[in-house]
Chain A
Amino acid sequence: QVQLVQSGAEVKKPGASVKVSCKASGYTFTGYYMHWVRQAPGQGLEWMGWINPNSGGTNYAQKFQGRVTMTRDTSISTAYMELSRLRSDDTAVYYCARAKGGSGSYVPLFDYWGQGTLVTVSS
């Protein structure tokens, strides 16, 4: 069965960086785009961008351009999201989410989600 397992909670100081991992299993990792979505405490869902695990190509939301980097390691079926220059309003649960389409479709329709990683930014 498809599973996305994310790394554990992080506490960071303002200005630091955080790198969250998302290990995929149960399907061909390179066949499905991976997106990242975050959710601030008690708030809604905010899309951050995607990575094509096959090519490594990325597309980031304008809001995060220059601060976010999405990468992957196909040898261990793992996607990563690194966010730099953290601020207090980056405190959120970060999710990886698989794009449903497969066959190289980036369409942001999400059929499987990781369990979420809480990133707390506090001095």
Chain B
Amino acid sequence: DIVMTQSPDSLAVSLGERATINCKSSQSVLYSSNNKNYLAWYQQKPGQPPKLLIYWASTRESGVPDRFSGSGSGTDFTLTISSLQAEDVAVYYCQQYYSTPPIFGPGTKVDIK
């Protein structure tokens, strides 16, 4: 199985400042035949199910604010919140969907400083 790791475990950022979360996979999730990275990001607020933010490593899901962006390729990926808002307090998970079983990272908790 592919192992997913995230860093940091948690971070606190001031309102309006940038938050950066890293995700690393134990093997590449780039599918050579279509040049797509099978990597997604989800946001989970307390008591709620996860919400899809980003897929194909950098494609924003419909309705997701453009302050959320994803980047990276192969085994190293980043989720950036360009200007943190109060409603962005949540746990963020990366997930590979390159191979079965799909594996989620352990999560990064984002709080307000």
Determine if chain A interacts with chain B. Answer: yes
B contact face: mostly helix, strand, loop, or mixed: loop
Q: Closest Cβ of chain B: how far from A6's Cβ, in Å? A: 10
* Min distance, Cβ B52 to any Cβ of chain A, angstroms: 5
Take A110-B52, A113-B50, A116-B49 as given contacts and tell me if A45 and B100 are in contact as well, using a CB distance cutoff of 8 Å: no
Contact-size category for A: 10 to 19
CB atoms of A44 and B105 under 8 A apart: yes
Q: Let me know if B40 is at the binding interface, CB within 8 A.
A: yes
Interface residues on chain B, number (Cβ under 8 Å): 20
B50 touches A110 (CB 8 A): yes
Any B CB within 8 A of the CB of A107: yes
- In the bound complex, residues from chain B placing their C-beta under 8 Å from that of A110 are 40, 42, 50, 52
Interface residues of B in 18-68 (CB under 8 A from A): 38, 40, 42, 49-52, 55, 61
Name 16 A/B residue pairs within 8 A (Cβ), A-sorted.
A44-B104, A45-B42, A45-B93, A45-B95, A47-B103, A47-B104, A59-B100, A61-B101, A100-B55, A108-B95, A108-B97, A109-B97, A110-B52, A111-B52, A113-B51, A114-B49
- Residues on A lying within 8 angstroms of B by beta carbon are 44-47, 59, 61-62, 95, 97, 100, 107-111, 113-116
